[in-house]
């Protein structure tokens, strides 16, 4: 058998193996750091904290204990508020950056927009605590200007938690929406104008629908990151209400109740999955 014939058979085999070789690191990574821990967490959630036998009580506790259920309600409310406010603030910001700022300044403007990302998340949260404190900048301005006689309770409230979250997620959403706006071909707007549509109509009927996928991707990222965040509500919320991540952490600290913490985490993950399915079906993100 000639060497050329051997090469002729080996090449297609190598060609078939190449995609697997390329995808194996990612598959391995996912298996080690997602699938395996997820299975461990799932099994742990079905194990009794005392004794180690099979049980569903870790799940039933969530549905029968109103305080646990309330944590999910609080998480969903805070996440919904944060997502809506962040989208409402980020869209015009991204639009101004993409449409109004000259291209040579856009890079600098984007860098300035994401500047707060460069600081530690924890430090940023504590900074907000000081800004919103009774003697903080905001209250001093409100009382100093005569708008309020007494300082308002801003820190250690849901308002503070939402503020901390929005500060972070507006930047994230701005980036995703900005990218979407930049990808939009100018010919769409020209065509709309040729057909007699004014700027407002063009925006409402052409630009906005075409950038909805970008909004939804950003909103979904906001939803996922917000509903699973422990630091911001812990620092800024003052524990005046508990969110799901705080409830999960509470099970671990002293009692080390990993089965219950696992069950609560899986329930939280199920909610995120439902949110994803809802978004994917509604806006068909997978087709974008």
Shortest Å distance, C-beta 59 to another protein: 15
Shortest Å distance, C-beta 10 to another protein: 34
Measured from the CB atom, the residue of 67 and 100 that comes closer to another protein is: 67
Shortest Å distance, C-beta 168 to another protein: 19
Measured from the CB atom, the residue of 165 and 258 that comes closer to another protein is: 258
For 258, other C-beta atoms within 10 Å of its C-beta total: 18
Task: Give the span between the Cα atoms of 227 and 76, in whole angstroms.
Answer: 7
Would you tell me which residues interact with another protein (CB under 8 A)? 32-33, 36-37, 39-40, 43-44, 46-47, 49-54, 65-68, 70-71, 74, 126, 129-130, 133-135, 153, 155-156, 234-235, 238-242, 247, 250, 252-258
Measured from the CB atom, the residue of 7 and 239 that comes closer to another protein is: 239
Rg (CA), the chain: 25
Shortest Å distance, C-beta 174 to another protein: 30
Measured from the CB atom, the residue of 192 and 242 that comes closer to another protein is: 242
Whether 62 and 68 have beta carbons less than 8 Å apart is answered as yes
Please report which residue ranges of the chain form alpha helices under DSSP H: 3-30, 36-45, 57-64, 66-95, 103-113, 121-132, 137-144, 158-183, 186-194, 199-202, 208-227, 231-236, 244-252, 258-283
Measuring CA to CA, which residue among 231, 226, 285 is closest to residue 81?
Answer: 226
Tell me the backbone φ, ψ of residue 101, rounded to 5 degrees: -80, 130
Measured from the CB atom, the residue of 58 and 180 that comes closer to another protein is: 58
Measured from the CB atom, the residue of 79 and 180 that comes closer to another protein is: 79
Shortest Å distance, C-beta 45 to another protein: 10
Shortest Å distance, C-beta 250 to another protein: 7
Shortest Å distance, C-beta 20 to another protein: 22
Measured from the CB atom, the residue of 203 and 230 that comes closer to another protein is: 230
Measured from the CB atom, the residue of 229 and 241 that comes closer to another protein is: 241
Whether 277 and 223 have beta carbons less than 8 Å apart is answered as no
What is the DSSP track for 249-263? HHHHTTT--HHHHHH
Cβ burial, residue 134 (10 Å; 0-12/13-18/19+): middle
Whether 33 and 248 have beta carbons less than 8 Å apart is answered as no
Shortest Å distance, C-beta 129 to another protein: 7
Measuring CA to CA, which residue among 84, 71, 67 is closest to residue 233?
Answer: 71
What is the DSSP track for 25-79? HHHHHHIIIIIHHHHHHHHHHTB-TTT--B-SHHHHHHHH-HHHHHHHHHHHHHH
């Amino acid at each position: 058998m000639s060497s050329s014939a051997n090469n002729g058979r080996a090449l297609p085999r190598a060609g078939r193996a190449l995609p697997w070789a390329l995808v194996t690191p990612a598959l391995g990574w996912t298996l080690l750091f997602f699938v395996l821990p997820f299975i461990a967490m799932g099994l742990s959630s079905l194990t009794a904290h005392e004794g180690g036998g099979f049980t569903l009580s870790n799940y039933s506790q969530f549905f029968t204990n109103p305080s646990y259920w309330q944590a999910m309600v609080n998480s969903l409310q805070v996440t919904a508020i944060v997502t809506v406010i962040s989208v409402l603030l980020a869209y015009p910001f991204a639009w101004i950056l993409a449409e109004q700022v000259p291209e040579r300044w856009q890079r600098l403007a984007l860098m300035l927009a994401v500047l707060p990302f460069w600081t530690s998340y924890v430090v940023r949260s504590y900074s907000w605590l000081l800004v919103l404190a009774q003697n903080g900048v905001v209250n001093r301005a409100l009382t100093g200007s005569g708008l309020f006689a007494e300082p308002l309770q801003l820190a250690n409230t849901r308002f503070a938690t939402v503020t901390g979250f929005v500060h972070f997620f507006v930047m994230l959403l701005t980036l995703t929406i900005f990218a979407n706006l930049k990808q939009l071909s100018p010919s769409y707007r020209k065509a709309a104008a040729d057909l007699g549509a004014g700027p407002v109509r063009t925006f409402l009927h052409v630009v906005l629908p075409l950038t909805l996928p970008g909004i939804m991707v950003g909103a979904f990222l906001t939803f996922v990151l917000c509903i699973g965040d422990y630091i911001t509500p812990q620092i800024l919320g003052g524990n005046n209400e508990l969110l799901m991540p705080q409830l999960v952490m509470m099970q671990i600290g002293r009692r080390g109740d990993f089965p219950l913490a696992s069950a609560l985490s899986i329930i939280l993950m199920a909610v995120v999955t439902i949110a994803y399915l809802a978004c994917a079906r509604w806006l068909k993100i997978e087709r974008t």
